[in-house]
């Protein structure tokens, strides 16, 4: 489900990037998105992560670059980062609408829950939408949207727009 080839683009200009390897999973988290996968990180994604983080974490280890300060994560930060991928029962199914909105130079994918939820298309592109049985869950405009398939997960932080788009209001 996760499109690793799009990861290097999604990592551009991020202020904070964490990469943890634990129990055979890679957890990659930025201020705008996160992913959990067993896929091998390779190619341009690996190159981008090494350039940002300064290395490759070992099993059970986490590395971070926070505004240019590189460090190794302690156990509490590793555990709190991994816990972000635990989806609570307060989340419910949301619909991926396939609609895209352009505002200024930015493209946003639109999800439908009780309200419309907008997510930067760059991060939605991390999801291979050609795969079947991808489940999308969320809560509201300010809670992360999760895409899950089997054990892979992507979380995307929604974008808050100043006003609802008129053609979507009923």
In this prediction, residues 70-99 reach a mean pLDDT of: 95
**What tokens were used for 111?**
């999800």
Note the pLDDT of residue 22.
97
Whether 145 has a pLDDT exceeding 50, the answer reads: yes
Task: Report the distance separating Cα 136 and Cα 155, nearest Å.
Answer: 10
Note the pLDDT of residue 170.
46
Whether 8 has a pLDDT exceeding 60, the answer reads: yes
Q: Where are the beta strands (DSSP E) in 6-151?
A: 16-22, 25-30, 33-37, 61-66, 69-72, 92-93, 95-103, 106-112, 116-120, 135-138, 145-149
- Chain mean pLDDT for the chain: 93
**What tokens were used for 123?**
């991060």
Going by pLDDT thresholds of 50, 70 and 90, the confidence category of residue 115 is confident
Among 24-33, 71-80, 155-164, which is the least confidently predicted range? 155-164
Note the pLDDT of residue 164.
62
Whether 106 has a pLDDT exceeding 60, the answer reads: yes
**What tokens were used for 126?**
């991390």
In this prediction, residues 4-30 reach a mean pLDDT of: 97
pTM to 2 decimal places = 0.93
Burial class (CB in 10 A: 0-12, 13-18, 19+), 165: middle
Note the pLDDT of residue 168.
59
Domain segments of the chain as ranges = 4-83, 92-168
Note the pLDDT of residue 167.
59
The fraction of the chain above a pLDDT of 70, given in percent, is 95
């Amino acid at each position: 489900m996760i499109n690793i080839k799009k990861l290097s683009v999604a990592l551009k200009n991020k202020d904070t990037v964490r990469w943890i390897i634990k129990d055979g999973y890679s957890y990659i988290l930025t201020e705008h998105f996160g992913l959990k996968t067993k896929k091998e990180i390779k190619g341009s994604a690996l190159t981008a992560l090494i350039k940002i983080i300064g290395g490759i974490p070992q099993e059970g280890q986490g590395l971070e670059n926070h505004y240019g300060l590189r460090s190794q994560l302690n156990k509490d930060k590793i555990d709190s980062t991994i816990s972000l991928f635990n989806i609570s029962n307060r989340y419910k199914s949301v619909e991926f609408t396939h609609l895209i909105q352009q505002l200024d130079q930015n493209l946003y994918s639109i999800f439908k829950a009780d309200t419309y939820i907008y997510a930067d298309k760059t991060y939605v592109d991390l999801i291979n939408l050609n795969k079947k049985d991808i489940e999308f869950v969320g809560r509201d405009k300010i809670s992360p949207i999760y895409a899950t398939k089997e054990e892979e997960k992507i979380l995307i932080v929604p974008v808050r727009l100043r006003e609802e788009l008129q053609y979507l209001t009923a």
